[in-house]
């Protein structure tokens, strides 16, 4: 089966005031149609940046210095704006991290769902309105008829994340980048939202690139997983295998540092600093080698 998203040897630098920081050091991964692919790593590992490059929303200071990102068979790394816009929404969508800030506070919920439907599917106001109601019901929002007329501040965080999930699935995209979609939520709401994403994903057959630092989440929802550290892929494979028998010592350390609902008594261990130092040194060596080459 050919991949819907195929990232090969992606290199990316952040250039700020003449300093060049290597963020991604040859990241490769592929997401197959209909699968949930976890992208795991600590803060600063570059996992969110991968998602941003895929969506074309990397900051202006970010420079892709090598590699390729192919979506649905076409190269999208340096795509011109106009071509990319028609790809967005319809082909590619995002479930953002923070539901509190990702909806426009000055616009009604309904309008924020219908706008994307009207833009990409050419629906009229009436049809888009009907579809928005159906989408809200899909994400299990009761009294959808009232919610469409409400403003974001009238909804709770969990409700807003449901709305954002509805927006992401609105045009039936082929791939959704979910950027830590549960991190900003309450623990009890987290599980509901996670279940909802899985349910929507299975019904629509959408592929998801699931960016997270939470291995517990990976275990619940992902089919395959890629472990990222300092912009390098340390390990990848089926989620179950990586979690139950991690090959890389870093993945093992990460597992021990993750709280587990099923073993509340376990003590957590931080990732050993020596291991992090070793990996960072390896990354630096990689940079030198690349600079010399």
Q: Applying CB under 8 A, does 101 fall inside the site for other proteins?
A: yes
Q: Which stretch binds other proteins (CB under 8 A): 78-86, 221-229, 241-249, 283-291?
A: 78-86
H or E element at residue 75: strand 74-75
Collect all residues with Cβ–Cβ distance below 8 Å to 52 and sequence separation of at least 6. Answer: 58, 59, 62
Q: Applying CB under 8 A, does 236 fall inside the site for other proteins?
A: no
Q: Applying CB under 8 A, does 60 fall inside the site for other proteins?
A: yes
Helix (H, G, I), strand (E, B) or coil at 80: coil
State which of positions 103-162 bind other proteins (CB under 8 A).
Answer: 103-107, 115-116, 119-120, 151, 153
Q: Applying CB under 8 A, does 20 fall inside the site for other proteins?
A: no
State which of positions 241-280 bind other proteins (CB under 8 A).
Answer: none
Question: Which residues on neighbouring strands pair with residue 12, listed in sequence order?
Answer: 24, 64
Structure tokens at 200: 């929507």
Q: Are 259 and 270 in contact (CB under 8 A)?
A: no
Report, in Å, the least distance between residue 289 CB and other proteins: 35
Q: Applying CB under 8 A, does 286 fall inside the site for other proteins?
A: no
Query: From the list 15, 20, 44, 57, which residue makes contact with other proteins (rule: CB under 8 A)?
Result: 57
Q: Applying CB under 8 A, does 88 fall inside the site for other proteins?
A: yes
Report, in Å, the least distance between residue 133 CB and other proteins: 19
Determine the distance from the C-alpha atom of residue 89 to the mean position of all C-alpha atoms in its chain, rounded to a whole number: 15
Size of the site for other proteins (CB under 8 A): 31
Query: From the list 31, 167, 178, 233, which residue makes contact with other proteins (rule: CB under 8 A)?
Result: 167
Handedness of CA 275, 279, 284, 289 (dihedral sign): positive
Distances (CA, A) of 131 to 95, 142, 204: 19, 15, 15
Q: Applying CB under 8 A, does 200 fall inside the site for other proteins?
A: no
Q: Are 123 and 132 in contact (CB under 8 A)?
A: no
Structure tokens at 290: 């690349």
Applying CB under 8 A, the residues found at the interface with other proteins are 55-57, 60, 84-90, 92-94, 96, 98, 101-107, 115-116, 119-120, 151, 153, 164, 167
């Amino acid at each position: 089966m050919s991949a819907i998203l195929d990232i090969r040897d992606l290199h990316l630098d952040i250039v700020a005031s003449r300093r060049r920081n290597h963020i991604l050091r040859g990241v490769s991964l592929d997401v197959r149609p209909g699968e949930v692919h976890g992208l795991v790593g600590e803060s600063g590992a570059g996992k969110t940046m991968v998602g941003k490059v895929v969506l074309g929303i990397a900051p202006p200071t970010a420079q892709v210095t090598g590699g390729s990102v192919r979506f649905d068979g076409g190269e999208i790394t340096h795509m011109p704006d106009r071509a990319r816009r028609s790809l967005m929404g319809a082909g590619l969508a995002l479930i953002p991290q923070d539901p509190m800030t990702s909806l426009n506070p000055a616009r009604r919920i309904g309008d924020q769902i219908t706008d994307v439907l009207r833009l990409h599917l050419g629906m009229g106001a009436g049809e888009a309105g009907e579809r928005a109601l159906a989408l809200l019901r899909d994400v299990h929002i009761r009294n959808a008829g009232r919610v469409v007329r409400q403003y974001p501040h009238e909804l709770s965080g969990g409700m807003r994340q449901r709305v954002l999930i509805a927006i992401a699935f609105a045009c039936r995209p082929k791939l959704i980048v979910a950027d830590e979609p549960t991190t900003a939520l309450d623990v009890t709401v987290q599980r509901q939202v996670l279940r909802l994403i899985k349910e929507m994903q299975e019904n629509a057959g959408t592929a998801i690139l699931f960016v997270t630092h939470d291995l517990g989440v990976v275990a619940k929802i992902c089919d395959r997983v890629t472990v990222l550290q300092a912009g390098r892929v340390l390990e990848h494979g089926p989620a179950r295998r990586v979690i139950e028998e991690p090959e890389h010592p870093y993945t093992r350390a990460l597992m021990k540092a993750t709280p587990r609902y099923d073993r509340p008594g376990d003590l957590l261990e931080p990732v050993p600093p020596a291991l992090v130092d070793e990996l960072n040194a390896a990354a630096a060596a990689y940079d030198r080698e690349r600079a010399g080459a």
